[in-house]
Chain A
Amino acid sequence: MSAKVQVQTTINNEPVEFLCEPRQSLLECLRDIVGLTGTKEGCGDGNCGSCTVKLGDRIVTSCLVLGVEAAGESITTVEGLAHGSTLHPLQKAFLDHAALQCGICTPGFLIAADALLQKHPHPTEEQTRFWLSNNLCRCTGYDKIIRAVQAAAIEINGAAQ
């Protein structure tokens, strides 16, 4: 086994330090070392998007990032979306629109949708579907997720001009 590495990073606006093996994915580090289990593992090979986190200025699948690569970066996980006990408008819209059933895909969809709404305040349905094409859901059939994201866009950014 190779020597463990000390990683200093920022997670959900808090400085965090953890010790990991270089071979461990960021997903493993978040869940098993830091104890943030909101981020889920589905496929482990970049296809399903359930492990999506924000890394710096873009979203990534954390199963395809090494924990050591987080050094000096800023990460947002699903735990960073709510303010205390007030849900993020996307979280609320997912509940209101029944955009989840088993829920394993939900943290990834929330992080990806949050990044979408920061880039496109009023995304079209097509933009939304393309942006979320790296996120799989085996339960909902996607439609309710799309409606929830559109409702949250209006809640956050007002009605489109």
Chain B
Amino acid sequence: MKAFDYAAPASLPEAVGLLASQPSARLLAGGTDLLVQLRSGRKEADVVIDVKKIPELNEIAFSPAGGLTIGAAVPCYRLTADASIQSHYPALVEVASWIGGTQIQGRASLGGNLCNSAPSADSIPLLIALGASALIAGPAGSRSVPVEDFCTAPGRNQLAPGELLVSIQIPPPAPFSGAAYLRFIPRNEMDIAVVGAGAAVTLSNGVIAGARIALSSVAPTPLYVPAAGESLVNQMPTAEALETAAKIAQEAASPISDMRGSAAYRRHLCAVMVRRALELAVARALEIN
């Protein structure tokens, strides 16, 4: 690995200042993407700025009115152990326990998953389905971006030079709501999704009041398909309604062929995975409340 300096700022203003003064700096959370990329020479850095000492990036906070705030650097093993996440966002616990294996989860953060902006990132479709937003800080102050608008191309995102991700904010779960993320992988663990699907539904008197659906590994960025969710509104959660939504999501996908699967196979999987994710989300909406 090419030589670099290391800094671990202890506050957000200090980190923003440092980032603004160092154009070739890279931010380090768990390093499970960054250190691999630096070692292989795919990325370079003169300075690596460790963000794990910044309090705002390390917090997990939940309130019934405000929802969930996940600091950008919180590693997956803390998410899976958190009682409020376990009871209010079970799908998030599942995603956090699927990113890599135990050792990767000891380091990998959802902030890093989002900022690495891979089309295959497992947490992003679920975050989109849950209606999450990204809180960003930079030299000009802070701003919030819906997660579906965050990624712009493979490995690229909305962050301007000098900006960093502070936290991911997820609205409180509505009564009679449920969410799920499912991925198709050739092994049970430690692999990259061939297709992943995130879904969230809210029911009202047995009728779907709102639904959000997003996919991974089928487009240059994680793909939000608003029309798929909208097709479900005012419908009973019947097999036909879920199938129709799954077909709409499938049509929005533009998968490529690679060693994990052909475009046609991925397209087929889109409908299957979305339907299953919706079924699980509906089941959860009915059971939790």
Binding site for B on A (CB under 8 A): 1-3, 5, 21-23, 25, 44-47, 49, 52, 55, 58-61, 63-66, 68-69, 112, 115-116, 130-135
Contacts and interface: CB of A to CB of B under 8 A. Distances in A.
Contacts of A52: 103
A133 B101 contact: yes
B39 A49 contact: no
A133 B188 contact: yes
B32 interface: yes
B77 interface: yes
Contacts of A64: 30-32, 35-36, 104, 107
Contact of A21 (B3, B35, B104): B3
Nearest to B46: A2
Nearest to B34: A64
B108 to A, nearest CB: 9
Interface of B: 1-6, 28, 30-32, 35-36, 38-40, 48, 50, 52, 75, 77, 100-107, 188-190
Given A22-B48, A61-B107, A132-B102, 6 more contacts: A22-B3, A58-B75, A58-B106, A60-B103, A65-B107, A66-B31
B190 A134 contact: yes
Contact of A66 (B32, B40, B48, B102): B48
Given A46-B100, A134-B100, A134-B190, A2 B3 contact: yes
B77 A23 contact: no
Given A3-B5, A22-B5, A65-B31, A46 B102 contact: no
Contact of B103 (A22, A61, A130): A61
Contacts of A1: 3
Contacts of A22: 3-6, 48
Contact of B1 (A23, A60, A68): A23
A5 B52 CA distance: 18
A112 B48 contact: no
Nearest to B52: A69
Most buried by A among B39, B50, B106: B106
Contacts of B104: 46, 61, 64, 134
Given A65-B31, A133-B189, A134-B100, A59 B3 contact: no
A134 B102 contact: yes
A131 B190 CA distance: 11
A59 B189 contact: no
A45 B39 contact: yes
B59 to A, nearest CB: 17
Q: Which of A3, A22, A68, A131 has the most CB of B within 10 A?
A: A22
Contacts of A59: 102-103, 106
B186 to A, nearest CB: 13
Given A46-B36, A130-B189, A133-B190, A112 B102 contact: yes
A49 B35 contact: no
Contacts of B50: 66, 69
Given A23-B1, A23-B2, A65-B31, A60 B107 contact: yes
A66 B105 CA distance: 16
Instruction: Give the residue among B5, B38, B52, B188 with the most A Cβ atoms within 10 A.
Output: B5
